[in-house]
Structure 1
Amino acid sequence: MSSLAPLMGRLSQLFSPRICLFASTLIICVGTIITSMSVNLEMFLIGRVFTGSGAAGVLIIASIIAIQMSTPKHRGLYIGLVNSGMTVGVSLGAIIAGALVPRIGWKPLFGIQAPLSLLAGFGILFGIPANFSPKNAGYLNLSIRQKFARIDYSGIVLLTLTIVLFLFGLSGPRVLPTPIILSAFSLPIFVLNEIYIAKDPIIPVSVLKSRGTLLTCLATTGFMMARWCVLFYSPVYALAVKDRGPAVAGSILIPTNAGFASGGVLAGIFHIRRNGSFYLPTLISMGLFPITLLVLAFISTAESSSTLYVVLVFFNGLFTGASLNYALVHLLHLTLPEVHPIVLSLLATFRGFAGSFGSAIGGGLFARVLHKSLKDGFEDAGLKHEGDLIRRLLGSPATVRKLEGKEREIAVHAYENGLKALFLAGVGLAVIVVFVQAGTGWKQPAKKVEEMQAEEDVEGEEALFGGS
């Protein structure tokens, strides 16, 4: 998903966004079929590669279509609805899968997704007007052969290589320096390719030089890393600390994702009803987010109120949804219309990084604090413990439910310490993100200002001569 997201923005300009979105759903269908028929891990992973490749285009192209087919008055609402569809799907998917896996198994669960994605694809194909084309696109009169010739194949290979190496180095149980170092070498080669070699680069130089784009992407990555701490570890809290069953623990994602959907939609309905800067609303909503994390850090205990916890994760999602909506619309204000598809896909790529970074970096911090707390707790209590017990507690929070007496008390306390450290780290990251986002500024590009002035002059002349 992260590797192909930037390409999807360019393809939606070269070809019809409607066709690209339909093709993405077909690729998802193929991926889920391969996954459901897997007989070994290699085949399973190939299926997930196909599925991720198709998914790379769905959210990005859906956002592009929603932005280009809506008026400024309704743009914020439609962006909020697209984001809401994404997060509601994640929430319901986790709950439904958890309920069905014990009954039907994992293979049928993946197989069911194939006809559903196919049905959604045809709904998209027939639901979007056939004559819809992206705004500000200069490729409408090119033949299919000419369009394929405009694709930056070397850029695709270099960018994919850079992203895959970097994420591979971070996604294991420990950080692997070699792939990260190799990605550091391939990244400047990609940038040089985009500047000096590619005739039609995936990411134009103007986008690479845009302060607003770069800082918004970095801020979104850090912001969503902190957010993923809640998505990954609030169910862990329910399992290990509050002694809830897996189904109940998974359902804690419902209020936080409901808050996410509500934040984006409410911001779109009541506030984002025009073009222009949303600098202060972005900073305010991002500034409220770490407050919820700070409170979560101190109430992630066995004695805290479950109702209060649900309320906090709801507001955490609410501020997240609003922040992402405001940041996206403000980024559109900071960039030229002709690069909006590229900017949106780039933003989605960085947002996709957050899940991998959050799981690798945040998970590493949580595991280290948890391991130290478990080891110190057992030693201080004078209990004999096997390394196998600590390994099982590190690998599965559900193991806590099987313990009794002092061992369980130590395990619960260790999980409390791990969650507190993780959420406090998220607070620090979220505060830094606010300052990064503040650096984006609020001024439009000079070219956009000139274009708007020219449009106003034309309208003024038409009104003058029409009146005379």
Structure 2
Amino acid sequence: MSHRQVLEALSGLLLGMFVSMIANTVVSTSMPTIVHDINGTQSDYTWVITAALLATTVSTPIWGKLADLMNRKLLMQLSLIIFVASSAIAGFSTSPEMLITMRVFQGLGGGGMAALSQIIMADIISPRDRGKYMGLFGAVMAVGTVGGPLLGGVIADHMGGFTPDGMGWRWNFFVSVPFAIAALILLQKTLHLPKLEKRKVSIDYIGIVLLGSGVSLLLIWVSMAGSSKTSSFAWASPQTAWMTSVAAVLLIAFVFVELKVKEPLIDMHLFQNRTFTLSVVASISVGLAMFGSSVYLSQYMIMARGATATMAGIMTIPMMAGLLVISTVVGGAITRTGKWKSYVVIGSVLLTGSLFALGTIHYDTNYWLVAIYMFIMGAGVGMVMQNLVLVVQNAVNPREMGVASSAVTFFRSLGGTIGVSWLGAMLANKIPSLLGDKEWELKSAMGELAKTDPSALAAFTKEYQSGQLPTPASMPEIIRPIFEWVYGDGIAHVFLLAAPLAIVTLVAVIFLPNLPLSNQTRTERAESEKEAALAAATVVADAGAEQQVLEGTQAEPAPSGAGDTTTGGRHGQRD
């Protein structure tokens, strides 16, 4: 494909990705407000995030497998429809349960868009050339990830007059619908992919059930266990024993099924490829560290620094800026030089260092210092995350590219889902402990408030005792600093827990084989390998035919009177 044809083909894909980005990021800064308004708790806040990640995690390998068997363009359009329809319905949520359910469907569609966008790129752009097109994806991601939270904050703060209940955040879920319609039309008109080789489709339904059940049960356990008043049971309890045991049995059964089934959801033989295995390890740990900690940045801005939803969007821009700027620059450098490993290693070092740095912040830490830490974190993620998919696509058989690409995305999402659930549980357990440290100050402040503003004390006490996720910005001024201190130190604790996990990423990428990047697209590689296999078969066939001729010649009876001299003459002529 020419440069112009590639740009035309990418236009619908880019708009589809923009829809996905804007629909996700536009609600990120207002999520604490949303959960508060629908009477949710800290546990609900974690599950609102986890539900989408869980569905994305489970569905990603399914979409990837379907991409190897069916029309990838149709699958992309279907995933976009599921994603946006569920986003629109989520805007009518009146309870945490309804919102969590719609977030599950968002995750199903998002899993398809995440996996298919990488696979489709491999169809039309070679690994070596992909870097120069990352600027386009960087621009789209810049608008989506930087503009989304800012737009979401403005909508949440100023669109209340356009909804009957005054909750302006509802429009955050509706804003992506017109973009989605445009993306569907553009995808239909501009995206023309090479036809897949026709083969019998076989869906691994048993694998889907085992994987979904095992991962879901594991994450439900992580979310519900703990020692706080919001936990359903203790870490060491009968519930923990049976949930982890059943999850382990289901996941082990999944591995055995995948080894036997004709069309596996995740081909276990891929783990014989060193590049694939190390990329999976790195993806799990980068998902744990990156998703599990960055999710709580907006909560830190709102809960610990008293920011509005709009300001939280502005205050988290440095992390997105680091991700977008550095990923675009590094992508161009990889295209020019063909060298990728040094960037991935440096990115892992930056990610690890930034998480340790964010583990030292407090509610009153200078914002510019926090911004520098966020920028470094974004830069590290930008240098690692997409390049792990790139090196795997470069190292595996073209026929397995869909499964391999989605597997890396799956394990990254799995790491992120476990990270959000686990770190959310750690935060939910840490908050009561930190509040206990401030118990005397809180009682003293409430005593003062009882004298000056009894009605404000009554409103605060009612919300506090209900277990709802509090919003310090709306608290009485005398009580607010206590909760800001608690959430500041609690969220810093989350970053500190995530930091060692990033070290695993660093170790894994150090040992990645430094393979040169191919100059061929997926289709071109498949054709080249088919031609090479055909040529090899022809050589083998010719060699076999020659061997048969030689054996037939040697088997001929010697003419009368011929002796060793004649035989020697024949050998001499043949040589």
**1:79-123 per-position Cα deviation (integer Å, ceiling 9, x unaligned):** 575477457535544433333243444555434434432321221
Segment of structure 1 superposing worse, 241-250 or 18-27: 241-250
Alignment of 1:12-411 (within 5 A): 12-36=67-91, 45-78=100-133, 81-82=136-137, 85=140, 89-101=144-156, 102-105=160-163, 109-129=172-192, 131-133=193-195, 140-142=197-199, 146-147=200-201, 150-172=202-224, 174=231, 177=240, 178-196=242-260, 198-273=261-336, 278-302=340-364, 304-379=365-440, 383=444, 396=469, 398-399=471-472, 402-405=475-478, 407-411=479-483
The separation in 2 between residues aligned to 1:168 and 1:81, in whole angstroms, is 38
**CA distance, structure 2, for counterparts of residue 377 and residue 79 of structure 1:** 49
What's the TM-score, normalizing by structure 1? 0.80
RMSD (Å), alpha carbons: 3.5
Which letter maps to 2:197? L
1:438 aligns with 2:493: no
Amino acid at match of 2:155: L
The answer to whether the Cα contact below 8 Å between 1:17 and 1:61 also exists between their aligned partners in 2 is yes
Q: Which runs of 5+ in 2 are unaligned?
A: 1-55, 164-168, 225-229, 448-459, 517-524, 536-575
Q: Is the 8 A contact 1:75 1:273 kept in 2?
A: no
Distance in 2 of aligned mates of 1:209 and 1:284: 26
User: CA shift at 1:397, angstroms?
Assistant: 5.7
Name the larger-Rg structure. Answer: 2
Unaligned runs of 5+ in 1: 134-138, 459-468
Deviation string 1:308-353 (CA, Å, 9 cap, x unpaired) is: 3223212211121111133222333443333221111011112222
CA deviations 1:388-425 (Å, max 9, x no partner) are 699579854632662444x5444343333323322222
Q: Distance in 1 between matches of 2:138 and 2:267?
A: 26
Paired residues for 1:418-457 under 5 Å: 418-442=490-514
Aligned length: 435
Amino acid at match of 2:77: F
CA displacement at 1:57 relative to structure 2? 0.9
Instruction: Tell me if the contact between 2:359 and 2:495 (Cα under 8 Å) persists in the aligned partners.
Output: yes
CA contact (8 A) 1:218 1:436 kept: yes
Q: Does 1:414 align with 2:486?
A: yes
Q: Given the superposition, is the C-alpha separation of residues 83 and 332 from structure 1 closer, same or farther in structure 2, using an over 3 Å criterion?
A: farther
* AA partner of residue 185 (structure 1): V
- 1:194/1:204 contact within 8 Å kept: yes
Gap change, CA 1:330 and 1:112, over 3 Å in 2: closer
Q: Quote the offset at 1:379 in angstroms.
A: 3.8
Q: Deviations over 1:280-335 (max 9, x none)?
A: 33122101222222333334341x33223223212211121111133222333443
**Alpha-carbon distance in 2 for matches of 1:96, 1:371:** 33
State the AA in 2 paired with 1:402. M
Which moved further from structure 2: 390-399 or 312-321?
Answer: 390-399
**Does structure 1 retain, via aligned residues, the 8 Å contact 2:81–2:109?**
yes
Distance 1:40 1:402, change over 3 A: closer
Q: TM-score, normalised by structure 2?
A: 0.67
Displacement after TM superposition at 1:128 (Å) = 0.8
Amino acid paired to 2:114: L
- Contact 1:21-1:121 at 8 Å conserved across structures: no
- d(CA) in 2 for partners of 1:37 and 1:427? 37
Q: Which moved more, 1:153-162 or 1:88-97?
A: 88-97
